[in-house]
Each structure stands twice: as structure tokens, then as C-alpha cells.
Chain A
Amino acid sequence: MDREAEFAIYVKGLKKTFPGVCAVDALSFDVRSGEIFGLVGPDGAGKTTTMRMLAGILTPDGGAAWIAGTDVAHAPERAKHFLSYMPQRFGLYEDLTVAENLRFYADLFGVKRAERIARAEELLHAAGISDFRKRLAGKLSGGMKQKLGLACALIHRPKVLLLDEPTTGVDPVSRRDFWRILYELLAEGVAILTSTAYLDEAERCHRVALLHQGRLLFCDTPEHLKEQMHGAVLSVIAHEPRAVREALEHADGISSLVMSGDGLHLVVDSASLRVPQFNEQLRAAGVCFESIQQVRPTIEDLFVQAVQREGVSRG
């Protein structure tokens, strides 16, 4: 069976170059129906460029992308029929009401009259904005606008949903609410590709592609990603993190040391070796600290390690 047809999204060797910069460099990944897949990386990693190529609004320089088995570059109109793309600035009409925006998008996507009312109701309910249908979109809070945008993007029951940094600038409470809605959508069998610059948000995806400067660093579930971390992560909690840093800065076995607000975050070669050793060292130096223990690595730890190992980071 064709792999292109087996997945909701299938990307192979996708490439895009802009003058002086390779924005997306031979990217390959796949997304299944009912899966939330994250494109994760800082600004400039190639997330938006990838999204735009998948949405058929930017032509790749190499490789190809299939949406529901359709080659996007060959048959963009057909591919667009299966997908919905929510860019960072989604085109809501601020001087139309919530209900009018939904109706507008239903027209745009050619949703039949018989279907649209039930669908709009369903989406308003799922997004938790049914009480606001008569409010002007321009008068909604940032989080609610985002949810309305999502509802509009889903009015024609797409098989594939592309979300470009949907939670940027949204506060944690609304962000969590937004994710709740995404998880509920999966029951409809939608495949969701979402991007984020916040590495901690990667933990919410089923699988993630970690991107840096156009290249794929890793692609796996968040759990498996963390298993690829070399060494162990230690957390020291202390009132004077600076004093702890001075005492440990030149200790053996440390490959990364970051000061946080109330402690230190360390990557070491071995937790069983270094925890007792650092305990001793801090006591000998007379530095007060509350605790030192091994913690689970974060996606950020993995990202930083991968980038440092490759020596590709600049500035």
C-alpha cells in the first residue's frame, strides 16, 4: 500500500530555500488520523514555511507533501478540500458577529445549508462560545477569538487541521482550554498538525518533530524523546542560586548548568555518582541549599543538548 495514502499527512524530503537561507531542509514525517502532531522549535526553525507548503500556498523546492493521499503540489485544489489551515493571524471579520463569521466560512467552504446549522451549533458548543454568538468578533478576548477561529476552520469537517502557533500570546488558562478542544476533535478522526515555539507545549502532543534552523533534530513521542537524553538531569533548590553556581561551576561531570530563579538545573554524566558528590561539595563550601535531586529531563534539555552536540547554534 502507498505510504502517501496511508497517512493523513505524509511529508517526504520537503525543502524550501529563500535567498541566503535554507528554511526547510529535507524534512520528512507523517501524521495519522486521530493524532496530534507537533512541529516544535524556536522562531526561524521552519515551522511556518512547512505549514504553508502543506497548505498549498507555497511551492516546495524539493520533496513532496501528501494530504489525505493527494500530492499538494500537483493537485492543490483537491488537497485544500481535505484540509483547513489556521495561520497565526486568522482572518476573522471583527465587525461581524460570532455567528456571522461561522456562516461566512460555511459559505466560503461550500458547506450545504442543511448541514451547516447543526455543525455550527456543535462547534460553538465544543469551543464554549455558544453564549457569545451575537457578540462582534472584535469584542472577544484573545482566547475566545482563537476558539472562534478554530470553529471557523472546522466548519467543513476537514480531515486535516493545520494550526500555526495557535497558542502564541494566549494565557495559560485559555491555552489549556484550547488544548482540551483539540483533544475532543480527535474523536472525529481529524489529524492535527500544530506548531509551537514553546518547548513545554510539545509534551501535549502525541508525537513531535523537533526542528532547528530548518532541520529535523528528532521525531518521536515526548516520552521516547526524553529517553534519548545523554546523562541525567539534576535540580538543586536553593535560596542563593548564585552561591551554588559558584561552588559547582568547575565540578566534574557537568555538561550544562543553568541558573533558574530558585536553583540550578544541571545536566551531568551520572546522577548516582554526582548527587552525593555535589552534596558533599556544597557542604564543604558552606553553601546553603534545600535539596538536590534527579528530575525528569524536559524537551528543552534534549533540544539544547542536541543543538550543542551538533554545534549548529549561533548567537
Chain B
Amino acid sequence: MDDPNNSVTTKDLVKRFGDFIAVDGINLAVRRGEVFGFLGPNGAGKSTTIRMLCGLLRPTAGSAQVAGHDVASEPELVRQNIGYMSQKFSLYNDLTVIENLRLFAGLYSVPFSVLQQRIEWALAMAGLEGKQNLLTGTLPGGWKQRLALGCAVLHKPPILFLDEPTSGVDPLARRQFWDLIHTMAAEGVTAFVTTHYMEEAEYCNRLALIFRGRLVALGTPSELKRNAMKGELLLVECRSLSDAIKLLKTAPGVQDASVFGNAIHLVVRDAKQSTPQLLQFLLKRGIAVERMEKVSPSLEDVFVSVTSSTETVGEQRV
């Protein structure tokens, strides 16, 4: 195949449904052993792309290789080489831990000769030794989720698709889970992650942001925070937030103003230049600012900035 170091490659990938272009020429190269995040708002074309990558949907144009196999001509081989895990619906709550593992081993056609060994390996990896006979429904969230991961990797797939794998679980369990993913990645497993939660996105080595079927940003989390925002972020603390925000929306150089808890977040082109101007602007209108400083954007800020600046101006919401 093209580059043996890549485990997922797409070239001008397109999917049309009638007149609607769900995926509009996406090019990706995910490296072997990479934890790759695939983000985008609902309806951006994320699920359509994933379904094509899993060999469940045929591309209209362009191509995609997963684990060295073409998704259009070899969907069966693609499916044998991937594991899929979602926090929401993968496990049977009324089966025990071992029964779930056996079921998934069957679904993934794990050969009988290695079955016992694989199940033991999955139990060890998930830290669930000795818990084989517990009913899945009674397990704490963090255990359930490691069991779901264990089920998804029984056939030792080189590529794992993870769909919001740690949504809602407690932060300690989440950290343990991502440690496990990074350990597997170090052994060469590629993780392809989709999520709406920026807390999960932070665990990815690189992130791709798609919007309206197109790739609109690509980079490491810190690269995106540094470069992808259209402007810089200022935090403003003052009294009467609602008056201040109305005024600030009309202030020169302010691209966006929104309430953020007990403060206001402003998007400006140049924070250093705008700070004295805006302090003056508010003071003149009778608002004393307690604090105004540049803050580093969160991934969510980047996400919102990139997707709204891609929208045509006429459609932009106020």
C-alpha cells in the first residue's frame, strides 16, 4: 500500500446522498500508533466518514485505505482489522463479564484455539481479573468501559474506532482509560476517536476538525490552540456583565463577545493592542473593569471559532 506507516488514509473521499454532499473531498493520513481525534458538529459528515472507513458505506468518489485494505473493494478485510467501541451501547448489562467477552469473541470470529488466551489477556489489560462472574450491569462506570474496550480488542485489531469512549465517567477512571489507550498506541495500535467532548480531544495526538463535509483544521491540540483561532481571547471581569456585553459588541475590534460564568470572553484580533482601547472604551461609558487579560483559548473556543468563521456571513448567528 502507499505508505506502510499509515493505518488510515483517505484520498479526496466523497459521499453524496442525492443532492446532498455529506463528505466533500477529505484527505487524511493517520499514522500507525497514533491517537487521532476526529471532531465536528452534528451533521458535519463525521458519522458518514466513519461508516465509510469501517467498510459499511461505499464512497461516491475518492478512496480510503484502512489497515492496508481498500474500503470499497475489500470491506470484509477492513472489518476484520478494526475494533469498535462506544461508551453507550456496546455491552449487554444482563450478561456477566465473561459472557460479554465470549459473545464478542464469537462476533469477531476469534479462533477457538486462542480464545481462552485472548480472554485472559483482555481481562488482564482491563484490570478485571477475578471479576469474570460479575453481572456487567452492576459494574462501576470505569470498569464497564474498560470491559467494552476489552471486548473491542479481542481479535487484536490494529485499528480501534472509539466513539466518545469516556463520556460521563469519573475523571480518575477516564485518566486510567486513556493511559491504556496510549499504552496500546505505543505497541502500534491506532486509535481513531470521535467525540464532542474537548476533555477527550485533549488526549489525542492530533485532531482533525471537519465542518460541512470538509476538513477545516488539522494539528496537535496545542498547535490548534495556538494557530487555528481567528483572533485572540480576552477575559473581562466587571460589574453589570449584561450592560458591558451589549456595549462591547459594538466596540471597535471586537469580533465576538459572550458571557462565560462570572466573566466575559471577547474575541479580538490583537489582544495587546485592544486591551488599553477597550479599557478606555468601557471607562468612558461608566464601567470599571476589574480584570482584563489575555487567556489561552480552549479547544472548544477553537472549535467554535473555526466552524463559525467557515459559515457564510449571512448565516452567522448572533
A contact set with B: CB distance below 8 Å: 41-45, 128, 141-143, 168-177, 179-180, 183, 186-187, 197-200, 203-206, 212, 221-223, 237, 239, 241-242, 258-263, 290, 300, 303-304, 307-308, 313-315
With contact pairs A141-B42, A142-B42, A173-B307 given, residues A197 and B168 touching in the complex (Cβ less than 8 Å) = yes
Given the complex of chains A and B, what is the CA–CA distance between A197 and B223 in angstroms? 27
The answer to whether B141 and A44 have CB atoms under 8 Å apart is yes
Residues in B with CB closer than 8 Å to A183 are: 259
CB of B103 within 8 Å of the partner chain: no
CB of B15 within 8 Å of the partner chain: no
**CB of A178 to closest CB in B, whole Å:** 12
Given the complex of chains A and B, what is the CA–CA distance between A237 and B262 in angstroms? 29
With contact pairs A141-B42, A212-B170, A261-B205 given, residues A169 and B196 touching in the complex (Cβ less than 8 Å) = yes
Given the complex of chains A and B, what is the CA–CA distance between A203 and B235 in angstroms? 13
Of the candidates A42, A174, A183, A313, the one having the most CB atoms from chain B within 10 angstroms of its own CB is A42
The answer to whether A315 and B140 have CB atoms under 8 Å apart is yes
With contact pairs A200-B199, A206-B262 given, residues A313 and B221 touching in the complex (Cβ less than 8 Å) = no
CB of B142 within 8 Å of the partner chain: yes
The answer to whether B171 and A173 have CB atoms under 8 Å apart is no
Interface of chain B, helix or strand or loop or mixed?
mixed
CB of B108 within 8 Å of the partner chain: no
The answer to whether B35 and A261 have CB atoms under 8 Å apart is yes
CB of B197 within 8 Å of the partner chain: yes
CB of B169 within 8 Å of the partner chain: yes
**CB of A42 to closest CB in B, whole Å:** 4
CB of B242 within 8 Å of the partner chain: yes
Residues in B with CB closer than 8 Å to A290 are: 222
CB of B99 within 8 Å of the partner chain: no
With contact pairs A44-B141, A200-B199, A200-B300 given, residues A221 and B172 touching in the complex (Cβ less than 8 Å) = no
Task: Report the count of interface residues on B (CB-CB < 8 A).
Answer: 51
**CB of B259 to closest CB in A, whole Å:** 4
8 Å CB interface, B257-315 against A: 258-262, 298, 300, 303-304, 307-308
Given the complex of chains A and B, what is the CA–CA distance between A45 and B173 in angstroms? 14
18 A-B pairs whose Cβ atoms sit less than 8 Å apart in the complex: A42-B141, A141-B43, A168-B168, A169-B196, A170-B42, A173-B307, A175-B196, A176-B258, A180-B259, A200-B298, A241-B182, A242-B186, A261-B35, A261-B202, A300-B199, A304-B175, A313-B170, A315-B173
With contact pairs A205-B261, A237-B222, A304-B175 given, residues A172 and B196 touching in the complex (Cβ less than 8 Å) = yes
Specify which of B258, B261, B300 is in contact with A206 (CB 8 Å cutoff).
Answer: B261
Residue of B nearest to A242 (CB): B186
Residues in A with CB closer than 8 Å to B172 are: 304, 307-308, 313
Given the complex of chains A and B, what is the CA–CA distance between A74 and B43 in angstroms? 46
Given the complex of chains A and B, what is the CA–CA distance between A121 and B108 in angstroms? 54
8 Å CB interface, B137-181 against A: 139-143, 167-173, 175, 178-179
Residues in B with CB closer than 8 Å to A45 are: 170
CB of B37 within 8 Å of the partner chain: yes
Of the candidates A170, A212, A260, A314, the one having the most CB atoms from chain B within 10 angstroms of its own CB is A260
**CB of B134 to closest CB in A, whole Å:** 11
With contact pairs A42-B170, A44-B141, A304-B171 given, residues A261 and B259 touching in the complex (Cβ less than 8 Å) = no
